[in-house]
Amino acid sequence: MSFINKPKVAHPSLPTNALGMTRRQYEGVMSTLCAGCGHDSITAAIVEACWGLAMRPEQLVKLSGIGCSSKTTAYFVSGAHGFNSVHGRMPSIASGANAANRDLTYIGISGDGDSLSIGFGQLAHAIRRNVNMLYLIENNGVYGLTKGQFSASADIGTKAKRGDVNKTPPIDPVLLALSLGATFVARGFSGDKAQLVPLIQAGMRHTGFALIDVLSPCVTFNDHEGSTKSYTFTREHYHPAMEADFVAPAQEIAVDYPSGEAMSVELHDGSRVMLRKLGSSYDPTDASAAYRFIESKLKLNEYVTGLVHIDETGSTEFHTLNKTSAVPLNRIPYEKLSPGSGALDKLLERYR
């Protein structure tokens, strides 16, 4: 970790967004993670994404479980409420928070231990419930805070710092999310901010559960030779296949996409994701095709990155299915919630 304090004042010439806010105003407290940790790069990408979207800080809700990854919610957007809950249980907190107020933007940060082991059930059911949130897994294949045990995403044959070789098959969060019907599934790499920022923005604006698995090397316990989650290995094996550009509502599309190579998906709030296919011909709206493609590449030790699957119909999103009031539940005045004494008197006739 770093021991210097962040400067309290920002340079006046820092660029501002539509709200007149600088990137600095989207930061949080100083990170206490190890120098060079992939997670800090992801934090920077989130700051960039929120600044770029001109998010009002209080409209964002940050949620996490326990672990190195889960600490990072403190490191961005200090103007947003954060909830660092218990290990593996952030999805239920997010489900409840989202049920209470459908108007806010929810971003959950988790890790491979938090999501794929202790929280596996909660993750699966948050996907199934289709909670409207961005769920970001900072995936490093290792337990950091407890000093380097393999996690459930560790690849077969990967070597721990102390020399153990993993023999049990990994759980891949992307394949998991696809098989459970997630409506937005992406993979990124902490070392590729250019790719990650628009993915985060699109995930935040997606209606429904958006999962981004971000390969995020652990410099302390999993960055050595023989590890398949090291910077070196990841750089050699990550495979950008479906780049996404995020285009805010009413913003002009600035890039000139060659015809047939770009696909525009409109999000609920009028923003768009421009998908650029890189070398592959699969349709990202087809979850089964995406599954087959990712699986075939994983067998070759290739991590396909980019926006793997998107379904923007929003038809199975929690509140859509529940027909929840458009006014968030936590803002409905009590007068509308109580049936009143007259209704009670009438009801009691049933029990006589």
Partner 1 sequence: MPNLASTANRDNDFVVKFANVNGTGSASANSLIMKAIFRMGVPVTGKNYFPSNIQGLPTWYEIRVTREAYAARAGRVDIMVAMNAETYQRDVREVSSGGFLIYDSTWPRSTLLQRGDITVIGVPLAQLVNESFDGARNRILLKNIAYAGAVAALIDVDVEIVNDLLRESYGKKPKLLDSNSKALHLGYDYAKKQFGCPLPLRVRHMDKTRGHIVIDGNTAAGLGCVYAGATVGAWYPITPSTSLMDAFKGFCERYRIDPVSGERNFAVIQAEDELAAIGIVLGASWNGARAFTPTSGPGVSLMNEFVGLAYYAEVPCVIFDVQRVGPSTGMPTRTQQSDIMLCAYASHGDTRHVLLFPANPEECFYMAAQAFDLAERLQTPVFVMSDLDIGMNDWMCRDLKWDDAYRPDRGKMLSAEELAGLDKFYRYVDRDDDAITYRTLPGVNPKGAYFTRGSGHNQFGAYTEDSAEYQAVLDRLKRKFSTAAKYVPKPEVIGNGNNEIGIVSIGSCDGAVREAMDVLARHAIYVDYMRLKAFPFGTEVTSFLSSHPTIFVIEQNRDAQLRSLLILETPVAKFKLHSILSYNGLPMCCDPIVDGIRAVLDDAPRLSAVKS
* Contact set with partner 1 (CB under 8 A): 56-59, 61, 63, 73-74, 78-86, 89, 91-101, 103-104, 121-122, 124-125, 129, 319, 322-326, 329-332, 334, 336-341, 343-345, 347-348, 351-352
Q: DSSP character for 264?
A: E
Backbone phi, then psi, for 15, in 5-degree steps?
-65, 150
- State the nearest-atom distance from the C-beta of 140 to partner 1, in Å: 21
Considering just the CA atoms, what is the radius of gyration of the chain in Å? 21
CB 76 within 8 A of CB 28: yes
Of 114 and 192, which has the nearer Cβ to partner 1? 114
* Alpha carbons 92 and 105: distance in angstroms, whole number: 16
Contacts of 342 (CB under 8 A, 6+ apart): none
- State the nearest-atom distance from the C-beta of 124 to partner 1, in Å: 8
Distances (CA, A) of 186 to 1, 11, 152: 29, 35, 19
- State the nearest-atom distance from the C-beta of 240 to partner 1, in Å: 34
- State the nearest-atom distance from the C-beta of 1 to partner 1, in Å: 12
Of 14 and 344, which has the nearer Cβ to partner 1? 344
245: three-class secondary structure by DSSP = strand
Of 194 and 347, which has the nearer Cβ to partner 1? 347
- State the nearest-atom distance from the C-beta of 268 to partner 1, in Å: 18
Contacts of 242 (CB under 8 A, 6+ apart): 275, 276, 277, 278, 280, 284, 304, 306, 307, 308
Other CB atoms within 10 Å distance of the CB of residue 71: 20
- State the nearest-atom distance from the C-beta of 231 to partner 1, in Å: 28
CB 249 within 8 A of CB 205: no
CA torsion angle for 70, 73, 75, 79 (degrees, to 10)? -160
Of 32 and 149, which has the nearer Cβ to partner 1? 32
Among candidates 91, 169, 170, 152, which has minimal Cα distance to 116? 152
Of 25 and 195, which has the nearer Cβ to partner 1? 25
- State the nearest-atom distance from the C-beta of 285 to partner 1, in Å: 28
- State the nearest-atom distance from the C-beta of 73 to partner 1, in Å: 8
Of 96 and 270, which has the nearer Cβ to partner 1? 96
* Alpha carbons 270 and 19: distance in angstroms, whole number: 19
Kind plus residue range of the DSSP H or E element containing 336: helix 334-337
Of 122 and 151, which has the nearer Cβ to partner 1? 122
Of 256 and 351, which has the nearer Cβ to partner 1? 351
Contacts of 241 (CB under 8 A, 6+ apart): 277, 278, 279, 280, 293, 297, 304, 305, 306, 308
Of 177 and 247, which has the nearer Cβ to partner 1? 177
- State the nearest-atom distance from the C-beta of 81 to partner 1, in Å: 4
Alpha helices in 110-210 (DSSP H): 112-116, 120-129, 173-179, 193-205
